[in-house]
Amino acid sequence: MRVTMSTIYTSIQNNLQRLAEDLQRINASMASGKKYQTISDSPVDVGAILGLTQDESQMVQYDRNLDTAKSWLSTTLSALQNITDMVRTSMALANQMATGTYNASQRQAAAQQIQGYIEEVMQVGNTELKGQHILAGYSTDSPPFVEGAWQVQSPVMHLQSGSTGTAVSGGTYTGSASRTYVVEVVSGGGIGVGTYRVSVDGGQTWTSPAVIPAGPAALGDGVEVTMGGTWVAGDHFSISVYRPIQYQGDTHDLEIAIGTQSRMVVNEVGSAAIGGDLGSNDLFQILAQLRGSLEANDPAEVGASLESLRSYESHITSILAGLGASLDRVAMKENISGYLKDELTRQISDRGDTDLVAAANLLSAKETAYQAALLSSSKVMGMSLMDYL
């Protein structure tokens, strides 16, 4: 083939241009740390990297969600643990007070202690996390447990054998502290015959006996009782007056996404965990009854409350176990996601990041080639027949 001037010069130019392009590309990939500068460099790899990056950022988000889940679960757990502690102390107290070795004034003091626990449980039940009431279901903006209006409870009856006495409590309480009225029949008989006396300190002091009226009898501070039937001397009953604590939240479970199509309940609904709904495991109700029995100096009823506390204790223990399991699950998820994130980072780096060692090697190889091309080109360009004519 004839080699002409344009063949020589064009090929020199093309070759140098190609090498310069290669050098530029290697340089850009080293300087930016990224293997590909545009999507057409390797569409398949770039597409795969996009997918992996999306997975990675999701993983980071799930990690953040797990943090939220963890703080909800652990705050709930510690609140319910506090309550469990108080339940156990109350049980110990009730256990002592159920025996006959304590007198009325000691039981009055114990009632004060239980009142303290009721207030404390309510406060714990209204625990907030970053301004949200965590035991209120979705109604996180207001405290789930509030004190209701004064309520006069139904009488707790202790009748002698042969007695047909009935008592219906009523009236509107006008006092300011919870209390329990103990009514004792002094001499038996029905309306207009029998006499009764009233104590507000568990039987330590009594009012002077009065005849059972037809219609409501005032016990004090607006509380009334209507007695019927035929009473036997020694019959007694107690009427407690207090403000019951009510649950104001809703019963929704708060879920948080902890993975693709995977959610976790991070709250406990206050009414189910603590009470305020007058259900069988309403701690407030149980404690209020215990307080009433203590105020009434009624060891038998204290014993009954102890049973209720025991059943509540096993109820809350199972809730605590569930929360513990959820926290374990969170920890496990965090472990897995940490590992997955590392793996994704590695894969993204494998596909998209410049392998500096390989790139540096390639750069020096191209550099050598470029220098060789420059050398040979200058040799070829320098040669001419003219030099010899």
Partner 1 sequence: MSGISNILQIATTALLAEQLGVEVTGHNIANVNTEGYSRQRVNLVTARPVPTSYGPVGTGVDVLGIERAFDPFVTARLNDKKSVLSYYQTRSDVLEQVATVFNETQDGGLNELFSQFFAAWNDLADNPTGSGERQALLYQSLTLCDAFNSRANQLVQERANLLQQIGPTIEEINSYTSHIAQLTREIVESESEGRHANDLRDQRQLEVARLSELIDVQTYTPGDGTLSVALPNGLPLAQGVLSFDLSYQISASDTIELIWQGPGGTTEIIDTSILSGGELTALIQTRDEVIPRYQQELDQLAQDLIIAVNDQHSQGVGLELFSQTKGTYQVSDPAVAMSTSLPLGGQIVVGTLQIAVDRDGAPLVMDTIAIDPSLSLNDLVTSINTHPVLGTYLTASVEDNSLKIVANLASDTFGFAGDDSHVLTALGVNTYFTGDNAYTLGVNAWVLNDPDLVAAGQIDATGAHAVGDNRNALALADLEDTPVATGGLTLGESYQSLVMSLGLEAQEAGNQESFYQGLVVQLSQMRDAVSGVSLDEELTNLVKYQRAYQAAARLVSVADELYQTLLSIKK
* Site residues for partner 1 per CB under 8 A: 1-7, 10-11, 14, 34, 36-44, 46-47, 49-51, 53-54, 57-58, 60-62, 64-65, 68, 130-132, 136-141, 250, 252, 254-257, 260-261, 263, 352, 384-386, 389
Nearer CB in complex with partner 1: 39/218: 39
Distance from C-alpha of 270 to C-alpha of 297, rounded to nearest angstrom? 31
User: What is the closest distance, in whole angstroms, from the C-beta atom of residue 188 to partner 1 in the complex?
Assistant: 53
Nearest approach, Cβ of residue 380 and partner 1 (Å)? 12
Distance, in Å, from the CA atom of 360 to the CA atom of 140, rounded to the nearest integer, reads 59
User: In the numeric block, which tokens belong to residue 174?
Assistant: 């006008």
CB closer to partner 1 out of 15 and 187: 15
Nearer to partner 1, 133 or 291 (CB): 133
Nearest Cα to 212, choosing from 237, 200, 195, 187?
A: 195
Q: Tell me how far apart the alpha carbons of residues 35 and 32 are, in angstroms, rounded to a whole number.
A: 8
Nearer to partner 1, 132 or 160 (CB): 132
Q: How far apart are CA 77 and CA 84, in angstroms?
A: 10
Min. distance of Cβ 145 from partner 1 in angstroms? 16
Residue pair 138/252 in contact by the 8 Å Cβ criterion: yes
Contact predicate 67/331, CB 8 Å: no
Least distance (Å) between residue 11 CB and partner 1: 8
Q: Which is nearer to partner 1, 11 or 112 (CB)?
A: 11
Closer of 14 and 361 to partner 1 (Cβ) = 14
- Of 151, 144, 153, 147, residue with least CA distance to 272: 144
Shortest Cβ distance from residue 273 to partner 1 (Å)? Answer: 16
Q: If you count them, how many residues does the chain have?
A: 389
Number of Cβ within a 10 Å radius of residue 360: 13
Residue pair 30/360 in contact by the 8 Å Cβ criterion? yes
